[in-house]
Amino acid sequence: MSTISLTVNGIAVVDVIDDRTTLADFLRDHLNLTGTHLACEHGVCGACTVLVDEVPIRACITLALSVEGKSARTIEDFEDDPKMEVIRECFSEAHGLQCGFCTSGMVLTVRDMIQRGRCVNEQEIRRELAGNLCRCTGYSGIVKATELARDRLKNSAV
């Protein structure tokens, strides 16, 4: 067992955890942040995507102790985020989700892509989203939602 201290969604957290606890299990089981979903648990599907020091990572294959002293942000931290508000609207309008299981990881990745300017066309969007798997939508709605969000955010002050 080890003590971990980090910032989660802007709040300082100190806890004692098993050394092999993944960041995903720590967030879900210790902090009740269940918006971070678990599917493959092998680093393949992107459902568990969170930001660590503003960079998207896979929480299922990241040991919580490796995030010691860093800042983690989960989907719950984006409820009032103006960019995420636009992205959510676009996903809803363009039918970018069905069951929603992939969606928290998907929209965190889309927000990051838009911030990095890595969604200039459909080909690039599909390439950037290759690490986020969706079993429902067939991806067309997700690509359309991303294009819509990219264009709206380009023309807005947020």
Sheet hosting strand 11-17, strand order edge to edge: 11-17, 2-8, 71-73, 49-52, 55-58
Number of chain positions touching ligand FES (CB under 6 A): 23
Out of 7, 13, 15, 41, the residue judged to bind ligand FES by CB under 6 A? 41
Question: Of 5 and 66, which has the nearer Cβ to ligand FES?
Answer: 66
Q: Kindly state the smallest distance separating residue 37's Cβ from ligand FES, in Å.
A: 7
Residues near 106 by Cβ (< 8 Å), separated by ≥ 6? 46, 49, 91, 96, 97, 129, 132, 134, 142
Residue 52 in the binding site for ligand FES (CB under 6 A)? no
Give the span between the Cα atoms of 95 and 84, in whole angstroms: 16
93-112: which residues touch ligand FES (CB under 6 A)? 97-103
- Give the residues lining the site for ligand FES (CB under 6 A): 38-41, 43-48, 58, 60, 97-103, 134-137
